[in-house]
Amino acid sequence: MTSFRTRRSTLSDAQHATWNRRWPELGVVARTGHENPERLDTAAWFGREAPLVLEIGCGTGTSTLAMAQAEPDIDVMAVEVYKRGLAQLLAAIDREQVTNIRLIRGDGVDVLEHLITPASLTGVRVFFPDPWPKARHHKRRLLQPATVALIADGLRPGGILHAATDHADYAEQIAEVGDAEPRLRRISATDPLPISVQRPTTKYESKAHTAGSAVTELLWERL
């Protein structure tokens, strides 16, 4: 059961050129089952030891880029299914010469299960995941108990799960699921945190505000 929708992906000539030039260095594809490589050697990939953040569903990478630029001492791995979104982020990384972002194309659950070393992450970010608003589709939502358990596996003690959504019903479900995970403790943005939780306002979020949808921010700490 996938938590994402199928979309067509078309790249401009410039995006193709940047992809061909930078992807071998900055990107990997997450595969399932026996096809998976070994768990990521992030120190070798980034060329340093640094606090590590995993962002699941980075979209076109607006938040990813801004938050990575604001925290150059933190390494960010951005996960996205859609090539076009990754291509836009890759072009921005190349243009801005940002060095602390790496890209993973694939499903976030596969990445958590197969590529992430347990207790290695300082943070996991899940911003505006698809709410699948129809009741019969709720099982497709990303932040289910099993996925939150995988996130808890990946977080080191003191690591942060930061989720944001503009869908009220999904916010309630995320809150319930996160609070039910025994290895996580709900916290607030005023608590001492190892990473920033200040997000830029994206075009998507601006549309949500215009439509009158409140954005809910949810934070947990790994015990």
Enzyme catalytic residues = 130
107 is in an annotated binding site: yes
Report which residue type is found at 24. P
CA 213 to CA 176: how far, in whole Å?
20
Residue 202, marked binder: yes
Answer yes or no: is 80 a known binding residue: yes
3-state helix, strand, coil in the chain (%, to 5): 40, 20, 40
- Its sign, for the CA torsion 64, 65, 70, 73, is positive
Report the binding-site residues for substrate.
134, 166, 202-205
Report the binding-site residues for S-adenosyl-L-methionine.
55, 80, 107, 130
Report the binding-site residues.
55, 80, 107, 130, 134, 166, 202-205
